Structure 1
Amino acid sequence: MWRKPLAAATNMALRHPWHNTAFRRSTNLSTAINSMLLESLKDHYLEVSKMSPPAKVSPPKPFTVLKGSLDGNGPVLKRSYGNGEEIKVSVMRLASIVPSGGAEDNGDDGINQLFVHVDVSKPGQLENVHFLCGLYPDALGIHSVSMRSKAENSGFLLVPNQYAGPVFQDLDEGIRDALHSYIEERGINESLFPFLQAWLYVRDHRNLMRWFKSVGTFINENNSAKDRIVVSTSS
């Protein structure tokens, strides 16, 4: 049953050879673009791979690095405090929150300012106290303090769905000072900056390398599939 439409398609191709010519031109252009893109990705991958990493920095004791943190978006550091408290620290750059060129863009401040999320949990408690802080080489400031529920089985913190607390700057100065003392007593201060800055560099470098490789692999596989189509068409 399939011989008739196949024969019709063959006759059409013979009567209108420009169909094949246009197809080959389109395929050749696509192959050339893919090759150019792959070459550019390869060059940048090699360039990035030659970048020297920062000097190795250890986190201040008693903080330890969470295993696998470089490959995820979760906490980076953890420590125990007092009678069973657990403190976890996550970090991101200012540029991850305020895009380059935005109204809040302050040049080099994006390099020297980090945002850290600090979660303090206690055994048997269903909620953690969560601090969002700005971390600098010589200072730390609290942006907000909220309570967050903890998923019972997954261990991941849920986005708060209830009152998140007052604006930190609107709090009484005595409360603000006491909250600063609370996290400083648990080791959350500017001493974390050198390690977290170096850690972010390593993570960003690793992610960039992975990105170049992943995009290149996708383009290359797509290109190979097109090559197989051309071969089957011309045979």
Structure 2
Amino acid sequence: MPPRATQVLRRGRKALEDLNLLKVLQSEISHELSSTPFQDKKSSSQGDSAQESSSFALEWNSSQSQDVVLRRKSESGEEVAISALLGQETFDSEGEGNFPREVLMKVCVKKPGLSSILQFDCGVREKHVHGSDFDIHSAYYLESSTIPTSSVYRGPLFSTLDPQLQDALKEYLVARGIGKNLTNFLLLTLHKKEQGQYVNWLQKLESFVAKD
């Protein structure tokens, strides 16, 4: 086969491959835009009321980042800061969940006049009966807000604590606004953010492939 014909065939094959990829991308974009798994009325109303009910201000929610940051300062001067992002997928045996991934939530509590903070690392999951809930994975007392060195004792494993103490620490957070409205809000907001970023990525690929 002449070299010129070979080049033509290669270009033709590449064009077909690009066209196929373009069709797949367009199909995936259409599916994502028509699918609104996080827009049902129940989830939307839970998410919209979260900030008002828990009195947290949304401090950071960039479309380019994976996390959100919320903060609240009470009349006594106590500050509660929350940072959250999506974690691993959760496996629902009944297949009824709206939110496939859990939220990794870090809660920091600071008292006025003190440099020390309490830090809680938590996981937020959807609960079919009760909406959503959170579990504490670890709790730390930190002498300051700076990152501690590896030699600093940060406390025992949370699961090894007395069950009553575990319950009391969770109630401590609930009393500071870490309740159902907030966890619903985090689940909804972070899943919507991820879906929006995914669609944006698909659209950039589509534009790149279609350019030729």
Fold-level similarity (TM above 0.5): yes
Residue of structure 2 in register with 1:12 after alignment? none
Q: Is the 8 A contact 1:121 1:127 kept in 2?
A: yes
Q: Does 1:51 align with 2:39?
A: no
Q: Does 1:97 align with 2:88?
A: yes
CA distance in 2, matches of 1:128, 1:24: 68
Gaps of 5+ in 1: 1-16, 152-157, 225-235
Q: CA deviation at 1:202?
A: 1.7
Q: Is the 8 A contact 1:131 1:146 kept in 2?
A: yes
Deviations 1:141-189 (A, max 9, x none): 21111356656xxxxxx69745443110112334323322321221112
Gaps of 5+ in 2: none
CA distance in 1, matches of 2:185, 2:106: 15
Residue of structure 1 in register with 2:70 after alignment? 77
Q: How many residues align?
A: 193
Residue of structure 2 in register with 1:8 after alignment? none
CA distance in 1, matches of 2:200, 2:158: 39
Greater share of helix = 1
CA distance in 2, matches of 1:186, 1:81: 9
Q: CA deviation at 1:219?
A: 2.6
SS at structure 2 position matched to 1:75: strand
Residue of structure 2 in register with 1:132 after alignment? 121
Q: Does 1:172 align with 2:162?
A: yes
CA distance in 2, matches of 1:134, 1:208: 23
Q: Which has the higher contact order (CA 8 A, sep 6+)?
A: 2
CA, structure 1 residues 194+74, in 2 after alignment: closer, same or farther (shift >3 Å)? closer
CA, structure 1 residues 84+220, in 2 after alignment: closer, same or farther (shift >3 Å)? farther
Q: Is the 8 A contact 1:81 1:186 kept in 2?
A: no
Q: Does 1:146 align with 2:140?
A: yes
CA distance in 2, matches of 1:200, 1:81: 25
Q: CA deviation at 1:126?
A: 5.5
- Please give the TM-score of this superposition, normalised by the length of structure 2: 0.72
Q: Is the 8 A contact 1:54 1:198 kept in 2?
A: no
Percent identical among aligned pairs is 23
CA distance in 1, matches of 2:210, 2:150: 45
Query: Counterpart of 2:136 in structure 1: which amino acid?
Result: I
CA distance in 1, matches of 2:63, 2:141: 26
CA distance in 2, matches of 1:214, 1:127: 45
Q: Does 1:22 align with 2:6?
A: yes
Residue of structure 2 in register with 1:213 after alignment? 203
Greater share of strand = 2
Deviations 1:75-109 (A, max 9, x none): 3432113533332223344xx325x7xxxx44447
Q: Which moved more, 1:18-27 or 1:63-72?
A: 63-72
SS at structure 2 position matched to 1:78: strand
CA distance in 2, matches of 1:160, 1:200: 31
